[in-house]
A and B are shown apart, each in its own frame.
Chain A
Amino acid sequence: MLIRLKGGRIYDPANGANGTVRDIYIRDGRIVADPGDSARPDQDYDVSGKVVMAGAIDMHTHIGGGKVNIARALLPEDHRADLLARTELTRACCGHAAPSTLATGYRYAEMGYTACFEPALLPTNARQAHMEMGDVPIVDKGGYALLGNDDLLLSLMREGADQKLINDYVAWTLDVTQCIGIKVVNPGGINAFKFNARKLDLDETSPRYGITPRAILLTLAQAIEDLGVPHPLHVHGCNLGVPGNVDTTLETISGIEGLPMHLTHIQFHSYGTEGDRKFSSGAARIAEAINRNPNISADVGQILFGQTVTASGDNMSQHRNRKFASPNKWVVMDIECDAGCGVVPFRYRDQNFVNALQWAIGLEIFLSVDDPWRIFLTTDHPNGAPFTTYPHLIRLLMDKTFRNEQLARLNPDAAAASTLGSITREYTLNEMAIMTRAGPAKILGLADRGHLGIGAGADITVYTDHEDREAMFRTPDYVFKDGELVAKDGRIVKVTLGATHVVKPAYDRGIEDRLRPFFARYRSTRLENFAIDEEELCECGSSRLTVHQCRHARVA
C-alpha cells in the first residue's frame, strides 16, 4: 500500500529540511522515494500548510519496571482522578502520575510520540520491565540497564579486573537484559546505603569496596567507548537534590576525562548554596560546562507544578527525600545485591521557594545550552512531572511571553533569584524537532528513526501550526507508527504493538564462567535463568527485536 502525505512543511533536521514543502511517500511501513506520476497512492492525506515531523522520541521516561509498579500501587487516589473509559479500541485504565502501561502507550501516541526509553532497568528486574513495556501499546521501547551498584561489578573492580573483563560483563549485561544502553545511578551510593552510608561524594570511597564513584563512572564510560555502544554512559550523578551539588556535577563532567557521557535530569543536579535560603541556581555554570564540553549531553528533568510521584533507583537519595513525601507515604527497597529503588510522592508547589526555583533552573538550562543536539526535552517522567505535561513545557520553551507570565505567578523570591526573566530565547520548530526527534535518535544510535529520509521507519506526526504551541503539540492531526495511522486529532484510531530497540556489542562468552559462581552462591537465581531471549520478549508483547549497530564489532 502506498500512502502520500501531500504538501506538508517538513521539519527534518537530520536531513536539513527546515519547513521545506514536499510530499512524503510511505510503503510497507517505510518512507520511500517519490514513485513518480504513474504510481497512484492508495491513501492520500492533504497536509498542506501543516507541520510534519518524525514521531517524537522520549529518551528518558520511567514507563515500566518494578519501581513504576510500586508507584502505581502507592497512589490509587491519584488514579481515581484520571480514569480512561473503555472504547471499541482501547481498554479501561488509569492515567496521571504513574499511568497504567496501556494509558502510557495511548497517551504517548496521541501526543505524537512513537518511541520511549525506560532509563532504569535493573538487570535482575529486566524481565518485569520488559513485561510492562510489552504492555505499553503502539510506541517502540528500549531500556538502559543499571550497573555501578551491583556487587558483581564492584567486586570485579576491587579485585583489579582488567578493563577487557569489565567490558565483557557490560556487553553481556546488555545482551541478556535486551537493553540499548547502560545507566549508572548514584554510582556506588545505592550499594553504600546497604552498608548504612547516607551519602557518597564523587571522591569518597565506598564502605565495602574502597572504590570511588569517579572510578565507577570512568570504568563504565570506558567500557561503553571500547564496546562502541552508540549511547554514552547515562549518568544520574551523586548527591541528587542536595543544595551545592552543582560543584559535584561540574567535577563529574571534568572527571570523565573527555569520554562521552549523558547527564540525566540535570536540573536536579544544578543547585547552588547562595542566598538567604542557601539554595540557588547553578544553571549558568552547568550550561557553560555543557557548551564547552562536546562529549557531554544532558536531558533536563524539568519540574512542573502539581501532584506527581518520584520513582528512582537512588534509594539513598529517596530515603533522604522521604521527609518531603506528599502524601506522606513512601517506599524504599534494596534489591538482589544488584541495586535498589525508592518511590516518594511529591507535590511541587508554585508558591514554594525551592519548587519554584527548581522550575526556573530547568528552564534556564534549556535556554542556555547552545546546541539543541545535546539537550533533551524530559521531565524525567514522572519525577519532575507526568509526560502528559510535555505540550505545556514546549510552550514554555517556544513562547517567551507565556513563559514570563508563568514566572510572574511564582513565589516572588524564587523569581527574583532566577535569571529566567531576562532570557529572550525562544526555541524554533526546527530546534524542537532536533530536541525531541533527531537528537534522541542520534544519541541512541537509532539509524532509521527520528528522521524522514528515504528508508526511515514511517513514524510521522502531523500538526496544525497553531500559535498556542501547547494546543498544537497536545493534539496532532495525524500520528503514523510504522506507516499505520494510529491517532487522529488526538484520538487513538488503531492499537498496534511496538518494537524493542537493543544493541548487541560483541563479547567473549567466557565471561559467563566467571559470573556463574557468583550467581550460584549469592544470587537467588542461576545464571542460566537470567537471560531473556527474543521469543520471550515477543511473548511479552514486543512486535520484534530491532538491533542497532555498534561503532565497531570487537575490541582487540
Chain B
Amino acid sequence: MANRIGAIVDHMNSTALSRNLLVLQDSGWIVTTFAEVRSRADFVLIVGTETNSRFPRFAERLIDPLDSPFSDGPMQRSVVYLGARPKAPADARVLDCPTNKLGEVFGALRCLVANRPLQAVRVAGLDMEILNGLADEMRKAKYGVVAWAAADLDQPHGELIVQSICGLVSDLNETTRFAGLPLGGNDADVTANQVTLWQTGLPLRTGFGRGVPEYDAYHFGTDRLLAGRNADVLLWISAFDPLRLPPETDVPTIVLGSPAMRFTKAPAVFIPVATPGLHHAGHFFRSDGVMAIRLRKLADSPLPSVAEALTAIEQAL
C-alpha cells in the first residue's frame, strides 16, 4: 500500500534499531546467534541495563546452561554486566558505568587489547586495573560474546557506542574468536526491517513519495515527520502490544491495533485486528535478528489480520 499511495514506511522502534543499522551501513560487524552463544561462549559481556527485563528468558536460555556439545564436562563461562546499574542476578559481576560513557569504555578496551599505552587512571569511573583485567580476559577467551540491546543505548548518537563495541569485537578476531550479539526484535521491529529490505532493497524509513524508493534515516523518522507536520496522515499498526499507542499528534491518525487498546485521545479511525501467532499464522524474526520463527494459529478470531485489513483498504482506494 505504501508503494501505491507514496507513503513512508517506519517502525515504532526504528530509533533504537537504527543505532545498529547505521553501524552496519558504515563499517559492518561480526555477530553470532543464540545457539552459538549457548554452546560455545566462554565469555559474555552484557552491555546495557535492561537486557534481562527486555528479554526475560535470555539468561535462562543462553547464559545459565553449561552443557555443551564441545566440552566433555560442564563448560566454564565468565559473565560480566556493564552499564548504568544493570539489572543483573545478585551474584553477578557488575561494572557500573553511565550509558553516555560506554563509548569511552570500549575505546579504552580497544586500546588495551591492542597493547597500546593508555594514559589514564580511570575511564568512565572504572579503575584501569579492572579494565586491564577485562581486556586480558577477553583476549584469552576462546569464543567471546558482547551482547547489547540498542534500545538501552538511548542517547544522542548511541550508534557510536555500537560502533565501538563492533570495533573491539573485530580487533579481538585478529587472534581469537569473538562476536557481537545485537538483541532486538520486539514488536516485530527486526521482522519489519528484514521484509522492507528484501522487498525494496532498502531498510525502514524508506518512502515511495516520488515513485521510487528513497531511504532517509533522519528525515523519514516518524517523530520528525509528525513534529514538522511533513505527514498528513499517520497509519499506526500494533497487532501485538495494546500498550504501544500512537504518538500524540494533530495529524489525523488511523490505528490498526489490538482490541485491548485504550486510548487517551481517540484516533480518527480505529480498526481492531487479530494477533499474529494467536489468531492467524505468520512469521517473526527472533531477538538475535537472524532466525525466522513460524507463528501458528492457536485460536479463532472474528477480526481481520493486519494484512487483510490493509488489502481491503488498498482495494477501496
Binding site for B on A (CB under 8 A): 64, 66, 68-70, 72-74, 76, 79-80, 83-86, 91-95, 98-103, 124-125, 127-128, 131-132, 135, 151, 155, 193-196, 208, 319, 325, 328-338, 343, 518, 521-525, 529, 532, 536, 539
Contacts and interface: CB of A to CB of B under 8 A. Distances in A.
Q: How many of chain B's residues touch chain A, expressed as a range?
A: 35 or more
B177 A522 contact: no
Contacts of B281: 536, 539
B25 A194 contact: no
A334 B213 contact: no
A532 B296 CA distance: 12
Contacts of A195: 142, 177
Contacts of A100: 197-201
Contact of B291 (A125, A319, A328, A521): A125
Contacts, number: 171
A85 B211 CA distance: 5
A503 B55 CA distance: 39
Contacts of B213: 79, 83, 92-94
B34 interface: yes
Contact of B177 (A83, A95, A196, A328): A196
Interface string B189-210: 0000011011111110000100
B70 interface: yes
A72 B201 contact: yes
A319 B173 contact: yes
A194 B173 contact: no
A524 B61 contact: yes
A331 B211 contact: no
A151 B291 CA distance: 17
Interface in B1-41: 3, 21, 24-36, 38-40
B54 interface: no
B194 A334 contact: no
B219 interface: no
**In terms of DSSP, what is the predominant structure of the interface of chain B?**
mixed
B179 interface: yes
A522 B200 CA distance: 35
Contacts of B131: none
Contacts of A74: 24-25, 28
B301 to A, nearest CB: 18
Contact of B39 (A66, A70, A337): A337
Nearest to A536: B294
B21, B68, B198, B281 — which one has the most chain A CB atoms within 10 A of its CB? B198
A68 to B, nearest CB: 8
B43 to A, nearest CB: 14
Interface string B136-154: 0000001100000000000
Interface string B169-198: 000010011010000000000000011011
Contact of A94 (B25, B28, B61, B200): B200
A421 to B, nearest CB: 39
A151 B290 contact: no
Contact of B293 (A70, A99, A155, A525): A525
